[in-house]
């Protein structure tokens, strides 16, 4: 294994897969010489050239549409958009075409495309460049939705996403790009989609999260261990398909559940996790109500302090845990 950033791990995954399969190409805005808005594709044009690192016009509808068309005809495109928010312009091609074609043609057509979306707040980019819209994609049958939290998971999950024959929405938290971790160098290393990971085992509460909230959850869990409160931290990694079994078995063990995500609470993916627990036999093991800790139901402000207050903090997570334990 080698230490690298989240961004480098994503670049390595794409590079390894493109070396193996000439049908893979990347299309997006300023991804060539410029290297992408967050530098993820930096230097890739030198190895793969303009035919496979395609700088497209500023038209997300055209980019996602071209990718969907290319996927159906045998290519394996990777879309990179500058910000997750911009997928709103390409939603028709993604939701009404790519997500449905395999089903509509009885499985005779494949749509192997990955749409990489840098999401989340924390950069001062304000309301139109800081959203977390994963719940939208999870609501659409035919789409797979991935949200890795660590560099190693980012590499392994992206390789699996590229190899998948269905459209995958791959959400990358912008604040994770410069975080570091040990990453498998084996070109054949993959992590299967639909499998959560228990990042920390515990017995008192199941804390279920994904994306950049994982780091905050682990910090809180390690602090509370000093108070003899043992939190089990589950990193979902893939939201669709969802690893319901890991969630249910954990809640049956601990008897308490808290869900943490950056996206706004109303209509957020946390509600689906609550329903998963409530509709299973884990419900009978609950010792307290399920709690959601999520973003405030407002557009993300530009002001730094307001922006910080709009998403869950370590203090918020700790308060939720104390509430569950009646402390």
* Domain 197-324, CATH: 3.40.50.920
Per DSSP, the residues of 248-309 read HHHHHHHS-EEEEEEEESTT-THHHHHHHHHTSGGGGG-SS--EEEEE-SSPPPSSHHHHHH
Q: Is 244 exposed, middle or buried (0-12, 13-18, 19+ CB in 10 A)?
A: middle
Please state the length of the chain.
Answer: 327
Q: Which residues contact 124 (CB under 8 A, 6 or more apart)?
A: 302, 304, 307
Name which CATH class applies to 2-183: alpha beta
Which of these is catalytic: 129, 139, 261, 302? 129
Per-residue pLDDT of the chain (327 residues; tens, 9 = 90+): 999 999 999 999 999 999 999 999 999 999 999 999 999 999 999 999 999 999 999 999 999 999 999 999 999 999 999 999 999 999 999 999 999 999 999 999 999 999 999 999 999 999 999 999 999 999 999 999 999 999 999 999 999 999 999 999 999 999 999 999 999 999 999 999 999 999 999 999 999 999 999 999 999 999 999 999 999 999 999 999 999 999 999 999 999 999 999 999 999 999 999 999 999 999 999 999 999 999 999 999 999 999 999 999 999 999 999 999 986
Residues of the chain with CATH 3.40.50.920: 197-324
129 is catalytic: yes
* b/e code 229-240 from CB counts within 10 Å (16+ = b): bebbbbbbbbbb
Judge whether 282 and 252 are in contact, CB under 8 Å.
yes
Residues of the chain with CATH 3.40.50.970: 2-183
* Prediction pTM value: 0.97
Distance in angstroms (rounded) separating the CA atoms of residues 116 and 136: 15
Secondary structure element (H or E) that encloses residue 4, with its range: strand 2-5
Question: Which residue(s) pair with 200 in the sheet?
Answer: 233
Query: Rounded to whole angstroms, what are the CA distances from 311 to 66, 261, 297, 300, 319?
Result: 35, 8, 10, 9, 14
* b/e code 147-159 from CB counts within 10 Å (16+ = b): bbbbbbbbbbbbb
Dihedral sign for Cα 273, 279, 280, 281, please: positive
């Amino acid at each position: 294994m080698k230490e690298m950033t989240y961004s480098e791990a994503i670049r390595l995954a794409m590079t390894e897969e493109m070396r193996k399969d000439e049908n893979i190409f990347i299309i997006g805005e300023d991804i060539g010489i410029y290297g992408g808005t967050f530098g993820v594709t930096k230097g890739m044009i030198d190895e793969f050239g303009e035919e496979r690192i395609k700088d497209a016009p500023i038209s997300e509808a055209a980019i996602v549409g071209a990718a969907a068309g290319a996927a159906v005809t045998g290519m394996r495109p990777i879309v990179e958009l500058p910000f997750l928010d911009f997928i709103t312009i390409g939603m028709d091609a993604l939701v009404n075409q790519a997500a449905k074609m395999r089903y509509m043609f009885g499985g005779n057509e494949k749509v192997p495309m990955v749409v990489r979306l840098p999401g989340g707040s924390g950069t001062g980019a304000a309301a139109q460049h800081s959203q977390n819209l994963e719940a939208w994609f999870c609501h659409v049958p035919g789409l797979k939705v991935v949200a890795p939290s660590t560099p190693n998971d980012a590499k392994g999950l992206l390789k699996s996403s590229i190899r998948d024959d269905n459209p995958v929405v791959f959400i990358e938290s912008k604040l994770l790009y410069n975080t570091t971790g040990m990453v498998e160098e084996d070109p054949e290393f993959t992590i299967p989609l639909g499998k959560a990971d228990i990042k920390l085992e515990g017995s008192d509460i199941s804390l279920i999260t994904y994306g950049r909230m994982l780091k905050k959850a682990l910090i809180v869990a390690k602090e509370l261990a000093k108070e003899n409160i043992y939190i089990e931290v589950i990193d979902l990694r893939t939201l669709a398909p969802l690893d319901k079994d890991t969630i249910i078995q954990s809640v049956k063990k601990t008897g308490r559940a808290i869900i943490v995500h950056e996206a706004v609470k109303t209509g957020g993916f946390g509600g689906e996790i609550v329903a998963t627990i409530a509709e299973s036999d884990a419900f009978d093991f609950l010792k307290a109500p399920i709690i959601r800790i999520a973003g405030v139901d407002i557009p993300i402000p530009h002001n730094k302090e307001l922006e910080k207050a709009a998403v869950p903090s370590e203090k918020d997570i700790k308060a939720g845990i104390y509430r569950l334990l009646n402390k």
